[in-house]
Structure 1
Amino acid sequence: MTSLLAWIFATIITVPLLGFVLVFSILRLVVDQKRRAFHYSIDITTLLLIISVYFLGQVVFGISLFAHILIFTLVLAIIFVFINWKINEEVKINKVIKGVWRCNFLVFLVIYLVFIVYGIVERVWEL
């Protein structure tokens, strides 16, 4: 049973889009609104994407991307705080956190797809 759970967790981390579908399917049954289930699924999948990009960076490039991910997220948060301050003249921290997290989803989804394609092309090229 433990190895089955480890296999499922490893698969979801390796293929976060599968994790998105799985989480969305479960949340769709639990949450009344489809839109809210979709947003919760994106929020959970963002963490899976960040972890996947970190591990893909180690596997494909042989480097740790932890500091890069942390710095990127902090700079993005600073940008969102500045924009929120300029628009509202008052920083609404909940909107900033939500905006940063959702923007991270888009950025890390693109990075994940680029790393996957690059890794596959690199392995095929080695053959």
Structure 2
Amino acid sequence: MLNGIMYIIAFFISLPFLATWIVYVCSYKLTEQKIKSFHLAVYVTTPLYLIAVTLMIDMVIGMSLTAAIIILFLLLLVGVLIFQWKKRTEVLLSKAIRIVWRLMFLLFITLYGLLIVTGIIQRIFFSV
């Protein structure tokens, strides 16, 4: 039973776009609202993209960037909080975290696509 769950998690880490699509379709059937369904899919599957990109960078480049990703998240959060403070004088941490979470999704889905292409090119031309 535990092995089955581990295989499912590993499958969705390997193919996070499939998990995003499944979450979107399921939530759309429940809510029938495209925007809310898409936001839910983004919120739920962002950790899968984070893990997948971290593992792919380790495979392609050969170094772990987990600490750099955490620092990037915190720097983006500080930047959004400073922007809120300057623009509105009211700082909402929950809204800032939501904005940073969406930015991380956009960044890591882009990195995921680039790393897939890089990995394929690397395996074709530079494999021994």
Match of 2:39 in 1: 39
Count of residue pairs the alignment pairs up: 127
Residues 81-100 of structure 1 aligned to structure 2 (within 5 Å): 81-100=81-100
User: How many Å apart are 1:4 and its aligned residue?
Assistant: 4.0
User: How many Å apart are 1:106 and its aligned residue?
Assistant: 0.6
Match of 1:59 in 2: 59
**What SS does the aligned partner of 2:35 have?**
helix
In the alignment, the residues of structure 1 paired with residue 93 and residue 84 of structure 2 have an alpha-carbon distance, to the nearest angstrom, of 9
Match of 1:14 in 2: 14
Match of 2:5 in 1: 5
Letter in 2 for 1:104: M
Match of 1:126 in 2: 126
In the alignment, the residues of structure 1 paired with residue 121 and residue 80 of structure 2 have an alpha-carbon distance, to the nearest angstrom, of 35
Unaligned runs of 5+ in 1: none
- CA deviation string 1:39-65 (max 9, x = no partner): 010111211110111111121112111
In the alignment, the residues of structure 2 paired with residue 120 and residue 6 of structure 1 have an alpha-carbon distance, to the nearest angstrom, of 26
Match of 2:102 in 1: 102
In the alignment, the residues of structure 2 paired with residue 24 and residue 2 of structure 1 have an alpha-carbon distance, to the nearest angstrom, of 26
CA RMSD of aligned residues (A): 1.5
In the alignment, the residues of structure 2 paired with residue 45 and residue 87 of structure 1 have an alpha-carbon distance, to the nearest angstrom, of 30
**What SS does the aligned partner of 1:42 have?**
helix
Query: What TM-score do you get using the length of structure 1 for normalisation?
Result: 0.91
Query: What TM-score do you get using the length of structure 2 for normalisation?
Result: 0.90
Match of 1:69 in 2: 69
Unaligned runs of 5+ in 2: none
In the alignment, the residues of structure 2 paired with residue 99 and residue 41 of structure 1 have an alpha-carbon distance, to the nearest angstrom, of 15
Letter in 2 for 1:97: I
Structure 1 segments, 4+ long, off by >6 Å, are: none
Match of 2:48 in 1: 48
Fraction of identical pairs, as percent: 34
- CA deviation string 1:56-92 (max 9, x = no partner): 1121112111111001101111110111111101211
